[in-house]
Structure 1
Amino acid sequence: MGQLQNTNNIVGYLKYEGNAVQEGIMGAEDIISSLSGFHNAIKFYLKKEDPRYENLHFDLPVKVQQGCLEFVVPLLKWGTIVYAAAAIGQIAQNDFKDVTSKDIFSYSLKCIKNVIKIAKHLGSFNNKNFKMRSSLGNAFITIYNDAGKELLVHKEMLDMYLQTPPSLLEKMASPIATERELELGYVDEDNNLQKETISLTEKYIFASTEDEEEILPELIHAESVELVGEVTRGNSSTNKLGIKYKEKILTCIPEKGDIKQYKDCIFRKCKIYGVVNREDEFGNITEKKPKIIFYKLIPIDNIPQTLDLFSLH
């Protein structure tokens, strides 16, 4: 099997190992699919990490190792990886002149690793309605799967899981086969290697279902709605709320302002006024699950707020 490079020289990696991978050889279609999926996942979390990355174009640096198929993200300086559009080129140089590929990509790799771990624990990428409780001063969340088993995760990584489209990691998982599993890892701030695997028996978790039914089809894109539900969570860093409506957790985004103004609504029955949004990250109206862009949120249960799970401050 191939050996990982010295962790001082890399940011992270994606590799496929097993008896089905001989001398780093795998079908061209699988290689292209996996690399494309890896690149798309990195880009998705880059935009979540820092809005300034939105308009930056980059070539993801990878190296193919022998003995297994391994895409290695090496430690490089900023100027060798990122190409900014002409209008923001100088800004990019000034803002990021001292950063490296580890500064840029390690957060995305950390997100992918933790999202894989959470999805495996829950047994489905579509499972967004599960029991959970705050832990360790609200910095972490304990989540429970259908078997009642616990997993302790940082609340930021749980939020990334909840925001991740179910199909995002499908291309990465597609080459997994008998005697060929996926392993993804990254080097953390203490220079320790953190990794997660996906085996053949877990591959189905990351495969999208083409015939998946639209969630709450009565909520039509661009239509105004008034809904009653329980506010289950909030995240000030993403400026989003979660509302339980007809046993589904809907992401709700204020049309204007900060969600901190709604902190008294957490864990309360509320009426929300807004517009249905089914756009995906590219602006296409393809999302099975709707979001609500709201302009008013009013508690209707007359119960005073006493617990703030997501610390909206």
Structure 2
Amino acid sequence: MRLLVTGRDGQVAASLLEAGRAGTEVVALGRPELDLARPDTVIDAIAAAKPDIVVSAAAYTAVDQAEDEPDLAFAVNATGAGKVAEAAARLGVPVIHLSTDYVFDGAKADAYVETDTPAPRNTYGASKLAGEQAVAAANARHLILRTAWAYSPFGRNFVKTMLKLAVDRDEIAVVADQWGNPTSALDIADAILHAAAMLHPRTGFSSFGVYHLVGTGETNWSGFARHILDTSRVFGGPWARVRDIATVDYPTKARRPPNSRLSTAKFTATCGWTAPEWQQSTKEIVSRLLNGQTGHASNV
């Protein structure tokens, strides 16, 4: 099986390239050959790769900057994502598209399920919701996986930021009134590979649609930060105190949902896969980063 993932530098793309498994060839395709901001590049680039499954992972992810660049955010996350799904449909293959918790406004008291009505609070979330709709319209054989709070040994993410700040600071102020599910991109990659194996034509899989895919367990950003830094200290790495602050004390251009918790019951029931506890996955990533094991992935 040949699995094509869009985006060369993203956390999930890098994690998929590292993960691989017997019988599955993972290739990554990105700019300039495939540029979601230039829809005319998408169809031919994906067709030339001849994939059996397309993983639509490339995205515009600058949440605050999207407030100033809404046209670009929608071009990449909506129009571009739709073109990726269309390219897969033309080849007669399914698409696995990555979306976000930011499609919700965070007003719900409990974890969000797939049937809850989306209501984005910011431009990034709105562009990703439009992308979900474009993907579903372009390719009936789609899995839309909403994930959240992703981190890994690759790219920029919260774990790396906390470790870097702790080198020079004794105390770090972190928001304590936003809740969610920290999710390792390595776990996302494992789940995608598991799901991809189920999408082979001979399996007769028909449960296409929207799913939530996040780490097991929940916390707030300050709790996540404390676990990262406490784990780092155990391994002899940098450590700093974490001071709880409120969202109003850390203003950002884009409004964040106070509740980003997602229920993964549907994905578990359908695909038979559950993410590890987020603390366990965080420990693995922190250990790798402190040991300089950022990994190396080959790209196409």
TM-score normalized by structure 1?
Answer: 0.27
Q: Which has the higher contact order (CA 8 A, sep 6+)?
A: 2
Higher share of residues assigned strand: 1
Higher share of residues assigned helix: 2
Q: Higher Cα Rg: structure 1 or 2?
A: 1
